[in-house]
């Protein structure tokens, strides 16, 4: 589903581990893979991001889910992100 939106290149070929991570992304987040494939161009960045997402959205995070979502929307708008 990757498209040409955005300014950074996207990974076309994923390792088996990253393909498994993408499958989980589809199950737990949404079916758009643009952000995932953009970050997959640098495995360290992808791992850091997925760890961060796990911490932010974990039931044990202790963070208010509404505030996390408002921050996500604000950051996306501020950075002119399509999401």
Total number of domains in the chain: 1
Structural domain harbouring 57: 16-78
pLDDT in tens, 25-83: 999 888 888 889 999 999 999 999 999 988 888 888 898 989 988 998 999 899 887 66
Per-residue CA distances from 28 to 8, 9, 22, 59, 72 (Å): 24, 24, 10, 13, 16
Q: What is the pLDDT of residue 58?
A: 85
63: left (phi over 0), alpha (psi -120 to 50) or beta: beta
Is 56 within the bounds of a domain? yes
Q: CB–CB of 72/43 below 8 Å?
A: no
pLDDT in tens, 3-15: 666 677 888 899 9
Rounded to two decimals, the pTM is: 0.73
Q: What is the pLDDT of residue 70?
A: 92
């Amino acid at each position: 589903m990757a498209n040409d939106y955005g300014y950074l290149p996207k990974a076309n070929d994923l390792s088996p581990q990253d393909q498994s991570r993408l499958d989980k992304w589809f199950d737990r987040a949404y079916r758009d893979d643009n952000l995932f494939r953009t970050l997959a161009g640098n495995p360290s960045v992808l791992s850091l991001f997925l760890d961060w997402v796990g911490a932010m959205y974990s039931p044990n995070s202790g963070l208010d889910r509404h505030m996390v979502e408002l921050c996500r929307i604000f950051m996306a708008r501020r950075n002119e992100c399509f999401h």
